[in-house]
A and B are shown apart, each in its own frame.
Chain A
Amino acid sequence: MELRNISKGFPGVIANRDISMSVERGTIHAIVGENGAGKSTLMKTLYGLHRPDSGTVAVHGQVVDFRSPSDAIEAGIGMVHQHFMLADNLTVLENIILGAEPAKAGVINAREAGRKIAELAKSLGVEIDVNSPVAELGVGQRQRVEILKVLYRGAKTLILDEPTAVLVPQEVDELFDNLRRLVAAGTTVLFISHKLDEVLAVSNRITVIRQGTTVGTVTPAEVTRRQLAEMMVGSDLPQPAPRTTQVREQVRLEVKNLTVARVGQRDLVRDVSLAVRSGEILGVAGVEGNGQFELCSALLGREHSTGTVAIDGNDVSRASVRERMNAGLAYVPFDRQREGLMLTSSLWENNLLGQEEKFTKFGFVNVGAARAACRTVIKRFGVLTPSEEVPAFALSGGNQQKLVVGRTMSMNPAVLLAAHPTRGIDVGAQAAVWEEVRQARDAGLAVLLVSADLDELLGLSDRVIVMFEGAIVAELLPREATPELLGTYMTGAKVGS
């Protein structure tokens, strides 16, 4: 596969500019870059989700023009999305053949399909029961179903978009084994990631993308991790270097026996007890979907729970969201667009959300003061925007996140629930957010930090807990927590003391 001078522009976001690269058949070719560097845009071009403004894509020497994903599939290109697109209540087999059912006179030939899938699974080196419902599968197995689904359609080139984001270290190793087998059988794999260790471990060649354009292509033997990182960032790589902190005595957030139950399901959060002290960051590790979201929702008061929650010694177990916020709780949501922003509203209205009481006079919103407050946040957190009048959708994801974090921090909270506070934002902004959180921590803030980024988690936290299936299975100090050890706990393979 060969890409020449691909460019694609969108209003307001970094897209692709003059991208050229060639991918050899039967190799694992990684595309690395920071979040927002334009990797996903490039992949969408390759998969026919949109057409490039200029430039050409050639497959096996032939220039192609994909107008839709079906064109790409026909050319033997398949994509495994970051977010799985499977129907939970169908079986593995049904999911795999969905849309490409082998049928005679309208009757699906399940046996034929089963045989073909078994063959594919064998070549991939996975064992899977094709008759079990997808709902019963774990994340790693679901991903394998997605890969099988693409292979079933005859894909000779696989595009994997951040495939390891949802996996624990052990599952990542398994995935890499599968990929190596595939490549040995002649399939080509395009592997998108921003995790350098993984890329170095599995790829034959690596193309680095920065600010929408290709910086260069290297082989893993030629570069060190550090060099690769510098290619990606364009300068020295910041890391949340551990700093000495003074955790104080005062417990600001105390949770006892918190359980979130759902009818007909196992408990989403199971008997969680924890305490966060003034000046302390408590990290929460875990594969996404193991109760972190529900824990935060319950602490915030959005989710019904049993057990007790106290903020600065005040019992808020039965309090409403607003009452908890008034008691000093603040929240950086998991998903800024879904839980944090009104995309079509101006930045100052977004900044007002949650603190409208503070900016009200006689029942009416004090627009002048609200705007001034927003300008302060924009300045302090370096939100890149022409003014506070701009609607939130016009900002890049990183700047949206900075506004959300800024809004939260400007409320001067006592306890901060921060869920993926730096997800999808650039390195500079990441460092700025870390610095703000640290400064507030040093000033006495208690932080509960949920993050999928282990570097961030280990670099910032004073203590780390691991959640698995809704319960805390381990508590560690960052210096004793290696990724492997965390991975063991995250899969539930081991329960700590």
Chain B
Amino acid sequence: MAKNRNVIDALPRPVVTLLSSLVAILLALGICGLLLLVTGKDPIAAYRTILETGLTGNKLLEMLKRSTPLMLSASAVAIGFKMNLFNIGVEGQYLFAALIAAEFASRISAPPVLHVLLTLMVASAAGAFWASIAAMLKVTRGINEVISTIMLNFISLSVMQWLFDNYMRDDSDGGLRVTTTEIAPSGQVPDIVDGRLNGVWLVALFVVFCYWLIVFRSKFGFRLRSSGLNSSAAQTSGIAANRMIVVAMLLSGAIAGLVAMQSVVGEEYAYGPQATPTGFGFAGIAVALLGRNHPVGIVAAAMLFGFLDSTSAVLQLSGIPNSIVKVIQAVVVLTVVIVNEATARYMNRRTAEQTAAALRADKVGA
């Protein structure tokens, strides 16, 4: 046992983190296996189906495609998390942004690349606008952003319904397709792999990279993280809390605005209450938690969720309820959070011990 401790003690931090995440995922699979067993299904068969279907080329492409909105949503949530700001309103922000951006894109005409860029910018602006309401309420009136962003999700849906039904709905084809007017080809983003993976995936990767650059390398990011780690110390050091809240919330909303863009400019070329996917705002919270608000973690977690999602249709075919995929995702988040907490405590103790040991060695040396 003592020897094992020594082996783990010698491992560098990223390896320990990776190992602990793997342990958490295995733990989650074990728990879900038990669940399947209790409900009379064969867990081995279920997992084999997941692996066999998931690890084919087409399904892996689907995994990447499904990871796109998750990466974006998780980055949006993570920016807030980094300063203990809980943006639960990504859902409302991205749907609002999808409607506005789709309507905007269908009304303008511009050269190919510019058309898409303008659309993305409008989407970001719309997302940021919706998030700014919660930011303003918090800064001027001290209203908790968790409450206001949740409530703004509902308001967003109602506002959109009104806008869509009265002003933006396109019934020119007789009402079969309930969407906004289709975006012209110049405003459409082509697929990387035909029919399987859209170019917006690259945009999502780029956004995650920007997330890393801004949060972990910039002055603004340092202030953001400082405010999150110890807001009292940050304010004492002259970091203006209110300004940080507003900027962080706007950034979060701007990223959130892009969540549905794969659908809007890459697949459906329009917004529609049925056509545009919902629920990614909440899935993003889970992905951000799973990825520990770290860019690499976010990409990995989005891939894992995308992978599991991609297998759910096949599970259904082989008689296993596909909701087990959602259960696995949820349990993974829980186990990862718990195992991470344990790992963090272990790492903190290890760091403290190693520091003390290094100091003792220093003294003996001198």
The chain A residues found within 8 Å of chain B, CB to CB, are 11-12, 300, 302, 320-322, 324-325, 331, 333, 338-345, 349, 352-354, 356-357, 360, 363-365, 384-386, 390-391, 393-395
Q: Is the interface of B mostly helix, strand, loop or mixed?
A: helix
Query: Could you say which of B1-9, B122-130, B217-225, B312-320 contacts chain A?
Result: B217-225
- In the complex the two chains form, what is the Cα distance from A365 to B226 in whole Å? 13
Query: Could you say which of B19-27, B112-120, B271-279, B345-353 contacts chain A?
Result: B345-353
Cβ–Cβ contact B236 & A331, under 8 A: yes
Cβ–Cβ contact B359 & A386, under 8 A: yes
Cβ–Cβ contact A322 & B219, under 8 A: no
Q: Using Cβ atoms and an 8 Å threshold, which residues of chain A touch B362?
A: 386
- In the complex the two chains form, what is the Cα distance from A393 to B352 in whole Å? 8
Q: Using Cβ atoms and an 8 Å threshold, which residues of chain B touch A363?
A: 218-220
Sample of 24 A–B contacts (CB below 8 Å)? A11-B349, A12-B356, A321-B239, A321-B240, A338-B230, A338-B233, A340-B236, A341-B233, A342-B230, A345-B226, A354-B237, A356-B219, A356-B223, A363-B218, A363-B219, A384-B359, A385-B355, A386-B355, A386-B359, A390-B351, A391-B348, A393-B352, A394-B351, A394-B352
Q: Shortest CB–CB separation between residue B366 and chain A, in angstroms? A: 11
Task: Scan B237-248; emit 1 where CB is below 8 A from any A CB, else 0.
Answer: 111100000000
Q: Using Cβ atoms and an 8 Å threshold, which residues of chain B touch A345?
A: 225-226, 229
Q: Does B337 contact A (CB under 8 A)?
A: no
B80-110, CB < 8 A from A: none
Cβ–Cβ contact B240 & A364, under 8 A: no
Q: Shortest CB–CB separation between residue B277 and chain A, in angstroms? A: 35
Cβ–Cβ contact A339 & B232, under 8 A: yes
What class of interface size applies to chain B in its complex with A?
20 to 34
With beta carbons under 8 angstroms apart, the residue of A300, A341, A352, A385 that contacts B359 is: A385
With beta carbons under 8 angstroms apart, the residue of A300, A331, A338, A357 that contacts B219 is: A357
Cβ–Cβ contact A321 & B238, under 8 A: yes
Cβ–Cβ contact A339 & B219, under 8 A: no
Q: Using Cβ atoms and an 8 Å threshold, which residues of chain B touch A395?
A: 355
Cβ–Cβ contact B232 & A338, under 8 A: yes
Q: Using Cβ atoms and an 8 Å threshold, which residues of chain B touch A342?
A: 226, 229-230, 233
Q: Using Cβ atoms and an 8 Å threshold, which residues of chain A touch B232?
A: 338-339
- List of 9 A-B pairs having minimum Cβ-Cβ separation, nearest first: A354-B237, A322-B238, A386-B358, A11-B352, A394-B355, A342-B229, A321-B238, A12-B352, A11-B353
Q: Does B235 contact A (CB under 8 A)?
A: yes
Q: Using Cβ atoms and an 8 Å threshold, which residues of chain A touch B226?
A: 342, 345, 349, 353
- In the complex the two chains form, what is the Cα distance from A363 to B247 in whole Å? 15
Task: Scan B332-366; emit 1 where CB is below 8 A from any A CB, else 0.
Answer: 00000000000000001101110110110010000
If A302-B235, A353-B237, A363-B218 touch, does A341 touch B352 (CB 8 Å cutoff)?
no
Cβ–Cβ contact A322 & B239, under 8 A: yes
Q: Shortest CB–CB separation between residue B363 and chain A, in angstroms? A: 9
Cβ–Cβ contact B238 & A349, under 8 A: no
Q: Does B234 contact A (CB under 8 A)?
A: yes
- In the complex the two chains form, what is the Cα distance from A95 to B237 in whole Å? 38
- In the complex the two chains form, what is the Cα distance from A324 to B240 in whole Å? 12
- In the complex the two chains form, what is the Cα distance from A12 to B348 in whole Å? 11
| Nearest B residue (CB) for A349 | B222
| Nearest A residue (CB) for B359 | A384
| Nearest A residue (CB) for B214 | A363
